[in-house]
Every structure is written in C-alpha cells, then in structure tokens.
Amino acid sequence: MKTLRDWTLHTRHAAGADLLVEGRHLLSIRVLEHDLIRVSLKKDGTWRLDRTWCVAPGGEMPWQGRSRDELTGFACPAAKITDGETLVIETDVLRLTVSQPLHLAWAARIDGEWVPFVEERPTGGTLLDTRDHRHEHFLRRYPEDRVYGLGEKTGDLERSGRRFEMRNLDAMGYDAEKTDPLYKHVPFTLTQTERAGAWSIFYDNLASCWFDIGNELDNYHLPYRAYRAEDGDLDYYVRWAPQLLDLVKGQTRLTGGTAFPPRWTLGYSGSTMSYTDAPDAQAQLEGFLAHIAEHDIPCDSFQMSSGYTSIGPKRYVFNWNHDKVPDIAGMTTRFAEAGVHLIANIKPCLLQDHPRYDEVAGAGLFIRDSEDHDKPERSIFWDDEGAHLDFTNPDAVAWWQEGVTTQLLDHGIGSTWNDNNEYEIWDHHARCAGFGDPVDVGLIRPLMPILMSRASEEAQRRHAPGKRPYLISRSGAPGLQRHAQTWSGDNRTDWKTIRFNTRTGLGMSLSGFYNIGHDVGGFSGPKPGPELFVRWVQNGIFHPRFTIHSWNDDGTVNEPWMYPEVLPQIRAALALRYRLLPYLYTCLWQAADADEPMLRPLFLDFPEDPACWQERDEFMLGRDLLVANVMDAGAETRVVQLPRNATGWWDFHSGAYHAPGSRLELPVDLGSMPLFVRAGAVLPVSAGAMRADPSADQARDLLLFPTPGEASEVSLFYEDDGISEAPEHSLLRFTLASTDSHVTLDWQQAGSAAPILPSARVILPAGETRGLRAGGRDIASHDEVEL
C-alpha cells in the first residue's frame, strides 16, 4: 500500500480537472452540483469496474449499470478554477483545494466567507496498493464532530469511536447493540460540524470495506477517520449543506429515490416460520385467517415463509410441497376473499440436490467458479451447499422471472419477499456474467439482491400492469430502495432490541432507506413475555413496515392473540395504527415524491436544540408526530424531553398542550403509547377502518392541533386509490391559523381527483377553548365540513 503524493495538472474542464498522480494514476474532480463534488481515482488511468448501479440521479438505471463516466442527471455547473502550486475549484457553495503533496481540503461559503469543514489527513490521505486494487482514504477527525449514517448498523445512532465493516451476512439472532456486520452495504456517512454546517461522503464501491470513526489511533498522524476497501475503485461524492436533512434528501436523490408501494402495505402484516414449516402448512395458514376474524384483528397481508418449498428439512425455491399445501388455488382464493395479500419468500440459491439444479447449471445461470469457469461456484447455504443465480446474466433473470410468474403470480400470490440474498460467496474472483463484460463477485456482491429484487419487480409489473408492485428484500446496497422495502433482519428477542433496533432504523433512514421496519416480537430466541410483546407492538405500529414475525426457539408463534391477558392492549395499538393510516400514507407519498424521510431522529427537525442530539428513544414519524414509546420492563413513568420548537406540542391522547422544551414525567401503564403532535399540524385520520384499502375508511377526521398564539402552519393530505401506478389523486393543502381568540382552518384542493370521502369531522384537542372557523364558517369541534 503506497501513499499517493506527487501530482500535476493533466486537464482542466469547465466543471473540474484531472490530475496525473505519481505519473500514472488519474484523479478526476467533477463539480456535479454547487453543493456536490465527486472525486474519482483511476489506477493507471483505468477503472477497476467501469459501471455503477447505485448512482441514479434521474431514478433510472440500465440493467447493465450506468457508466461511471456518465454525468447525465447532474447540472455540472461551471466552476471557478485556479491552478498553480495549488489547485482551487470553487462553486457558489463549495471550495476544494488540492495541494502538494496530494492533499484535498473542503470549505463551504457561509455568510460570504469560506469556512473549512473537512480535509484529508495531512500525513497521507489516499493509499493505493500497486499490486491489486485495495485502497484507503483518510480524513481528519475532529472531536466535536458527530458522525451518522452507514445504514443498517447496531448500537448508538452516533457512530464516533467505533469501527464498522460492510460485508453482507445472514446474521440471524444478532445482538442489536453490538453485532457487526449485518445484511446491508451502505458506505455513506453524514457529519454534523460545529464549524460549518454538515457534510456527507458516499463511497460508490460495492466491494467489502471498513469504516473506522475514531476507534483507531496512530501516534504518527493527527486524529483521523478511515475508509478501507479490499477491491474496487476509490470513487466518492462529497456534499455540503447547512442542515443534515438536506444531506439525507440529497443522498436519496443521488441513488434514485424511493419506491411508492400500495397503501395496503401500511397495514398489519402477519408472518412466522412456523406455519409453513408445519406438515399441515395450508391448514396453519388458513387458520391464521380464522384467528384474525375470531379475535377481530385488522390485517392486510401475510408474509409466507419458505417452508412451502420444502423437501424434507431443506428449502427449494419455486418448488411447492403439495403434501403441505395440497390446494394452492383454494388457499390463495381464501386469502384474497379475506382481503389479505400474500407475499411469498423466495431465495436466490439452489441447493445441490434441488430438482432443477442440473437444468440451471447446464444453462450456465449460476455464478461460476473462479478457477473453472465451466462449473458453478458452490457455497454453504441453509445447511447444505448450493449455487447462486447470477442476476448479471439476462438468461438467469428470465429463468427467475418465469419462476416468479408460474409458481407464484399465476397462483394468486402477487408480491415477493426476496430473502437470504446476502450472497455469501467468499471466492472473491468467482465469475459473474456482467451482462457480457465478466466481473468478479467480490466487486458486486451487494448488487445481487438489488438485481434479484428488480427481476421480481419486473415480473410483478408484467403480471399486473398498471398496479404498483410490492417487494421486500433483506439485503442490498444504495439503490435497493428504488425497488423494495427492507427491514433489519432476523433480530433476537430481548428488551434492548426494541431500543437499538429503533436506532438502527433511524440510521437506515438517515442513509436513504425510508421504507423500513423490524421483526416485531423478535425473530429468534425465546418467545417474548406479555409485557415485552405489548411494548414491541406499540413500537412497531409507528414504523412503515409493521410485521409480527418469529421463529422462536420453543416452536411457539408470535401472534396478536398469543397472550389473552394483553389482547386489549394489542387491539388498541392496532387500532391506533389504522386510525393513523391517512397520515402514514401521506408520509409514504412524501418519501417517494419529495425524498422526505418517514422516520426522523429529533435533531433532523430540531437541530438548534442541544437535547435533540443526545441518544434518544423518541423519534419523529413524518414532520408532525413525536413518538415516545415505553421501552423498559416494568416502567411506571416515562420521561419525555420535548424539543424546543417554535410552536409547542400537544399530547395526542389527552389533548393537553405543552410548551416548547417541556420536560414531562408521564405515568404509564401497559396500555400507554405516549405520542405528541407538533402544534400547528392538521392530522388526517381514519374513523373505524379495519383495512388499509382506502375504500375501507368509514369516516374521516381532521385533528387540529393549533399553535397557542398567532401563527399559521401548513399540512398536507394525499389520497389516491392505493394501488394504481399513475393514479388520479387528491392533495389537500391545509392552512391552520391561530389568533388569541380563534382557530381557523382553510384548505386548497390539488390533483385530478376529489377526496375519497366528501366530508370530514373537524376536531380540536380537549385543552383547546378558542372559537373554531373552518371553510369560511363558524363551527364547533366535532362538526362536519365538506371537503
């Protein structure tokens, strides 16, 4: 590994420059936007992998990837470039200075002055192995900086002082506080400074890598942070913004945005390994329908685990076990009649004794062995060896799509759960087809689950044209969110898992993965006790993916009715979830339409409040709801420190107003779900819905939470048919104004459709005594208005 030092200016461009480094390597600097600069190193002037599948500023990505030299989708504004002993590249916002020996330093223009925010380690910023493609990148680390991101990581949300690895693993039963690595590869960090706003760096490389955020010390260098990759290209994007929220949205746009799934995906989704593992799997599955009807439990979908494909104790993708499921059509019809969508688990590896293994191997659809390209690479998978499908081979994609269509979609199962897709192939040079340009699997391992999900998505779209598809994927990298929802994998049942899974989810959200959740109740380990189960459900209802899923050590199943003594509390939590669906769906639409994160750590919206930067169990759901779940066993009180916002907070349940920055010590019991609403908000909610389909809404309520003094705030309410690809929609823009004597609600209608329900009740909190005017007339709280 050699430190890169000497450079000369090779070529100037309107939006950047190329440097010749050590007389042989090409360092390219490109201004992509005024707030975004890309730096790329081509060893010996050549890319190691000349394509990306992560960077998609327009949302579109060719199957074969996007050329790394492609700049379409970026503004590439002309920059001011000054060269001499140093090279200085300036935009309206950013300044990058390159000095000798090779050293890059960034500054932001703040109030007309250039303020430095980060620089490379002065004693060597870029290291490159001249024999292979390993490389390292070092930046200065400042003690006051707060570092976030890295996607799906355990422990505290702030990452300083720790070391993390990106290497996709099937980490079943992981410790939500300590285990690393997990399932996803997200080489992206955000840093909040005290000097100059916030900045982010995204390394567009899918090879395994490590981030050290201050765990490592070296006496020969100033404090530093390190990125180390075992292969691939050093190709990174630095963005600056005044606030972290701008960086989060910018990263989501850079990697192609967020898929907009159907509305029913926000309903409760049942799941367990136990049903499909049972010899009478069909009876178990249909029994779930009977139980939700018996116990009056709302449910919109069921995620069917892989036991339906079994032969003996093992699983074989696209193979139906007809002893377990003798009447597929009858089963799927009964689910459809109950309004419960089925989602089937599928896996990308065929075990060596799979009934179709020889067929697929003979067609050359597997990833190939590194030494003998005529035979499949074989890896450990589910208690046996198997070969992984190569989704960079169009013939493998076609085979997969045929299986999805004939074995699932044609049977009435409309959605796919793309699981166990970490591609744990440790033969680094195993050969992938690469769409005609072969590539080592070690360069693109996290890409495979993205392409797998895309293959499933295309099959679903062809089978149901005009309808929005729904997919789940456990593994992946930036760009997965363009296709699928994800979750934090096979967690372990423990009280601390609720707390640290919540932080993991917030880290994923900060990293551009908005549509996420966790296995409610814990997937592996002991079954949860009644109190733990209730608290887990009460937390799960505030996440986009709300699924109770389990494979308990004792063979029991986590189900809403598993403890009759707490079923009233479970029903109350589910009722709150379904009441909030109109608001949740508006948040989901904003995530897809405007890159707004759904789950938000408090500092994202209230950066001026120092208390919001502490490790907190509270979080925002959208911009208006503050969730303060109870996460401790035997809790009798819950302390909540409300953010110092401009308007204050209302208790959702009691209707009591609290001033900005209030510290509350709330008495709690097993049914408590502390929830607060930003003053000034209008919450659209459902009355009496037992399904997530918009046609199930029986009545609409508009909950008003006015500011105490004179102010005017805006809220949105989005509706459509919940399923169509390009639906007619209604968008209501509410303006809630307050004076000392009155609260006034007005609204404007946009979109091509009327609201689904023509009227709504307008409801003030119990603690609000001012007069109410809505739609130009005086009314009383709980009166109905025409929308």
Q: Is the pLDDT of residue 195 over 90?
A: no
Structure confidence by residue, pLDDT tens digits, 728-769: 999 999 999 999 999 999 999 999 999 999 999 999 999 999
DSSP string, 118-145: EEB-TT-SEEE-SSSS-EEEEEE--TT-
Residue entry with tokens 């039963």: 173
CA distances from 85 to 101, 122, 441, 748 (A): 10, 16, 42, 58
The pLDDT of 587-600, averaged and rounded, is 98
pLDDT for the residue numbered 516 = 98
Spell out the residues 6+ positions from residue 335 whose beta carbon is closer than 8 angstroms to its own.
Answer: 285, 289, 302, 341, 342, 412
The pLDDT of 111-115, averaged and rounded, is 97
Confidence of residue 254 (pLDDT cuts 50, 70, 90): very high
* Cis status of the peptide bond prior to 560, with omega within 30 of 0: no
Task: List the beta bridge partners of residue 67.
Answer: 51
Query: Which one, of 458, 506, 463, lies nearest residue 483 by Cα?
Result: 458
**Do the Cβ atoms of 454 and 469 come closer than 8 Å?**
no
Structure confidence by residue, pLDDT tens digits, 36-51: 999 999 999 999 999 9
* Cis status of the peptide bond prior to 143, with omega within 30 of 0: no
Separation CA 668–CA 653 (nearest Å): 13
Q: Where are the domains of the chain?
A: 302-484, 679-787
Separation CA 621–CA 642 (nearest Å): 14
Query: Which one, of 4, 36, 33, 31, lies nearest residue 17 by Cα?
Result: 31
Q: What does the mean pLDDT of the chain come to?
A: 97
Q: Is the pLDDT of residue 383 over 90?
A: no
SS3 (DSSP) at 649? strand
Separation CA 106–CA 383 (nearest Å): 50
| Domain at 302-484, CATH class | alpha beta
SS3 (DSSP) at 3? strand
State the greatest distance between any 2 C-alpha atoms of the chain, in Å, as a whole number.
81
Separation CA 641–CA 661 (nearest Å): 6
pLDDT for the residue numbered 178 = 98
Spell out the residues 6+ positions from residue 111 whose beta carbon is closer than 8 angstroms to its own.
Answer: none
Same fold, 302-484 and 679-787: no
pLDDT for the residue numbered 688 = 86
| Domain at 679-787, CATH class | mainly beta
Does the pTM surpass 0.95? The reply is: yes
**Do the Cβ atoms of 266 and 588 come closer than 8 Å?**
yes
Structure confidence by residue, pLDDT tens digits, 474-533: 999 999 999 999 999 999 999 999 999 999 999 999 999 999 999 999 999 999 999 999
According to DSSP, residue 575 is labeled H
- Please report the beta strands in 125-223, taking only residues with DSSP state E, as ranges in sequence order: 126-128, 135-140, 146-149, 163-166, 188-192, 198-203, 209-212
Query: What percentage of the chain exceeds 70 in pLDDT?
Result: 100
Q: Is the pLDDT of residue 133 over 90?
A: yes
